[in-house]
Structure 1
């Protein structure tokens, strides 16, 4: 009887199907998750582009920027590197710039758009004609992920009434892909998203700019 059991092929197809279906199931979920990861990458890239554009027409996050350009020769061009870059970000829930003051209201406008000010990571629903913020393009963002830098790259002139015309860079840091199916199965939860940034030239630097 044991010999018959050892040589029997009954149920072999079921075992093979179970193995094949498991592999197929994992493959299918992998395609779905990696497709979603590419969507997150594109959404984050769009958020960076829009954030830089919004920063270029808004009041600066770095409150010391208005007086950053040299004043020794009124009307002279502001040369590249005339002042140290202002790097503004949140760390442990506290916003700061590398020098000078930090405007939480201006940062909120870049992060949350035209919605009401909030010194938090929440992303509110837009109403009416309110412009979106970075979080509306990529909901997984937190304030700590966003870094805004204002630097002198040879634009504008000294003692300009509206302050210097900086070059603005918005970049993301410490952003991980959010996997749904594979995070528990294969531990794909801690893959860092490649660094991305967008650089634009400052314009009026006023919140009322179109």
Structure 2
């Protein structure tokens, strides 16, 4: 009698059902939060490369202006600098060392810092100082946790400017994010979510005065 009564009892069934369903429910809820944050990072990265490209177009070039000018042909003064007239200068950090085309001597760390951090103080790390007053933001202010090694700035000849131009050739500038992974709060240890790379994104603009004092 007692055995039949125990087998027919439904006491505690709701708790058992909740125990089974709760992990799935929590995973779905926290997953929505994490993917919402991933979308925020995507938007921040998109805005970051746009701001970086804009700053790069009105700032001192990361590859020294003298090096950039010397790369363009000078045999026919006044003639157009044709597309592909010089090899692109690819400037980036590898660890704590910055270099353009692998040459650290042709790399202006202060110019890179202005693109990365805006008008805030120059530091030799990935720090992103808070803005004050009328300081303009840099890339890192739109994508928290951004590292210098994830930013690639390329100066290339695309048929703009003319030989022996006083300010040097007019490059086309591309600012790109590479090797950036999405950051997840709750799913980072689940099913390899911590290894999901953000698709490479970039913004391309035409160089302007290429000097820090240029107006925006």
- TM-score, normalised on structure 1? 0.95
Quick check: 1:90 aligned with 2:100?
no
Displacement of 1:68: 1.7
Matches within 5 A, 1:1-210: 1-63=2-64, 64-98=67-101, 101-210=106-215
Displacement of 1:186: 4.5
Alignment: residue pair count: 210
Displacement of 1:182: 1.4
Q: Distance in 1 between matches of 2:69 and 2:59?
A: 13
Displacement of 1:2: 4.3
**Residues 167-207 of structure 1, C-alpha deviations (whole Å, 9 max, x = no match):** 00000011010000111344421111011000000000000
Which region of structure 1 is more displaced relative to structure 2, 186-195 or 49-58?
186-195
**Residues 9-68 of structure 1, C-alpha deviations (whole Å, 9 max, x = no match):** 221111112222322211111111100100000001100011001000000001121222
Q: Distance in 2 between matches of 1:118 and 1:164?
A: 30
Q: Distance in 2 between matches of 1:134 and 1:20?
A: 42
Displacement of 1:4: 3.9
Which region of structure 1 is more displaced relative to structure 2, 93-102 or 172-181?
93-102
CA contact (8 A) 1:86 1:99 kept: no
Segments of 5+ residues of structure 2 without an aligned counterpart are: none
Which region of structure 1 is more displaced relative to structure 2, 33-42 or 11-20?
11-20
Q: Distance in 2 between matches of 1:85 and 1:36?
A: 35
Q: Distance in 1 between matches of 2:32 and 2:52?
A: 30
